[in-house]
Amino acid sequence: MKVALVHDWLTGTRGGEKVLRELSLLFPDATLFTLFHFPGTVPAEIERLEIRTSFLQRLVSPARDYRKLLPLFFPAAESWDLAGHDLVISSSHCVAKNAKKEPGAVHVCYCHTPVRYLHDQFEDYFRARPAWVRALGRAARLPLARWDERTARRVDAFLANSGNVQGRIRRIYRRDAAVVFPPADTGFYAPGPPATRRGFLVVSALAPYKRLEDAIEAANRNRWALTVAGFGPEEARLRRLAGETVRFVRTPRDEELRDLYRTAEAVLMPGEEDFGIVPVEAQACGTPVVALGRGGATETVADGRTGILYAEPGADSLAAGIARLRDLRLDPSDAVRNAARFSRKRFREEFSRALETALRSAGRPDLAEEAARRLEASGRRIRQAGFG
């Protein structure tokens, strides 16, 4: 059985790449197809795979905003040559699910979200852009959204990263999906030695729909210390908004990020997430989360026990959520236990079961049995290597 892993692009390590890392451990002999790859930006387990890119590799660089090439992503995804691969597993938040399999092959898509900026979060992405950019975006949106919906038919089985995304897959693609929550490294992200907790923390891609200006505005008004960890197209604008109590850490190392979690009074998540691995990592460190009570946060944060969910977006609502948090006496061990539901081991077990079910439902019991044998062998290697 020849396996192809397909991922949108490899430019940094966020939640999607943490899922891909687990898939690369489960299928160490797979070939990885992606639109473009900036070497050294993703975990070693991914980098060691045979990585094949598209024609876009010649057009992008870390210094340019590759998102401007979005209309080209769709034809580029159809240019991957998956000949000879019996099983295609896509890890998709944009166009990876568009990959064209060979007749007789099976395509299982682990969907992080249907493309946000083509469907129900278009306005959130473009609200801070100039009027002419929004106009161009609207002109391109409809044909690309239709393309995205049509290519969902190429997928034999969808797996969703949350109940929230499961509902969006049903509504946008009119397909059912099993839920397999993504993995958090709850072995690495764990409580540290007793420490004084000061200030607030945001860990996020600096993208418009994340609503990071809400956190910055609340910090500016109340002179709260706030650390913003991450990078993205909104960085320059957010730096201009930030007051003297706000600092930016562009690409913290894993150990540095863990220390930030361990010493923050709370982690803030002011935007609606599809799932959101950051709140889970924070809780694994015993740190409460103050999050907008929509989307994935409702599945990962226990309101009043491991953090606060507030109802409406905006700096005022976020500040009220922080005030409510300070009135509570939360037990950090509750947050740690809650985060344990999303361990790497649990992800691998649930993904393996869901994949076998999907292959049998697709009429390929032979692939299901071969996959089960390979996954069992991979599980033994992973346990021997001590990978979470």
The answer to whether residues 223 and 89 belong to one domain is no
Residue 131 has what pLDDT? 62
CB atoms inside a 10 Å sphere around CB 176:
11
Residue 387 has what pLDDT? 72
Read off the pLDDT band of 275 (50, 70, 90).
very high
The letter for the amino acid at 375 is L
CB burial readout 348-367, b (16+ within 10 A) else e: bebbbebbbebbeebebeeb
18 assigned to some structural domain: yes
The answer to whether residues 11 and 87 belong to one domain is yes
The answer to whether residues 221 and 363 belong to one domain is no
The answer to whether residues 94 and 207 belong to one domain is no
Percent of the chain with pLDDT over 90: 84
188 assigned to some structural domain: no
The answer to whether residues 160 and 60 belong to one domain is yes
Report the pLDDT averaged over residues 177-183. Answer: 97
Report the pLDDT averaged over residues 314-328. Answer: 98
Q: Which domain holds residue 134?
A: 3-183+343-385
- CATH number of residue 217's parent domain: 3.40.50.2000
- Residues ≥6 apart with Cβ < 8 Å to 169: 111, 114, 158, 160, 175, 176, 177
The answer to whether residues 176 and 204 belong to one domain is no
The answer to whether residues 213 and 178 belong to one domain is no
The answer to whether residues 348 and 335 belong to one domain is no
The answer to whether residues 321 and 356 belong to one domain is no
pTM value is 0.91
The answer to whether residues 159 and 17 belong to one domain is yes
195 assigned to some structural domain: no
pLDDT tens sequence across 37-87: 999 999 999 999 999 999 999 999 887 878 788 889 999 999 999 999 999
In whole angstroms, give the CA distance from residue 211 to residue 241: 12
227 assigned to some structural domain: yes
193 assigned to some structural domain: no
CB atoms inside a 10 Å sphere around CB 324:
15
- CATH number of residue 86's parent domain: 3.40.50
Lookup: tokens for 44: 């070693």
Q: Are 290 and 307 in contact (CB under 8 A)?
A: yes
Read off the pLDDT band of 137 (50, 70, 90).
low
Read off the pLDDT band of 136 (50, 70, 90).
low
The answer to whether residues 252 and 379 belong to one domain is no
- Name the packing angle between helices 277-284 and 332-339 (round to 10°): 130
In whole angstroms, give the CA distance from residue 134 to residue 213: 19
Of 269, 328, 335, nearest in space to 296 by CA: 269
Read off the pLDDT band of 369 (50, 70, 90).
very high
216 assigned to some structural domain: yes
189 assigned to some structural domain: no
The answer to whether residues 17 and 118 belong to one domain is yes
Lookup: tokens for 201: 């923390």
- Residues ≥6 apart with Cβ < 8 Å to 57: 35, 36, 37
pLDDT tens sequence across 1-44: 999 999 999 998 889 999 999 999 999 999 999 999 999 999 99
Percent of the chain with pLDDT over 70: 95
- Residues ≥6 apart with Cβ < 8 Å to 333: 286
In whole angstroms, give the CA distance from residue 237 to residue 128: 9
Rg of the chain (C-alpha set): 21
Q: Which residues pair with 194 in a beta bridge?
A: none
Q: Any long-range contacts for 98-102 (C-beta under 8 Å, 24+ apart)?
A: 98/74, 98/148, 98/151, 98/154, 99/4, 99/6, 99/33, 99/154, 100/154, 101/154
Tell how strand 246-249 and strand 226-229 pair up.
Answer: parallel
Where is average pLDDT lowest: 107-111, 112-116, 123-127, 229-233?
123-127
Residue 133 has what pLDDT? 59
51 assigned to some structural domain: yes
Does residue 167 carry a pLDDT above 60?
A: yes
**Number of domains the chain contains:** 2
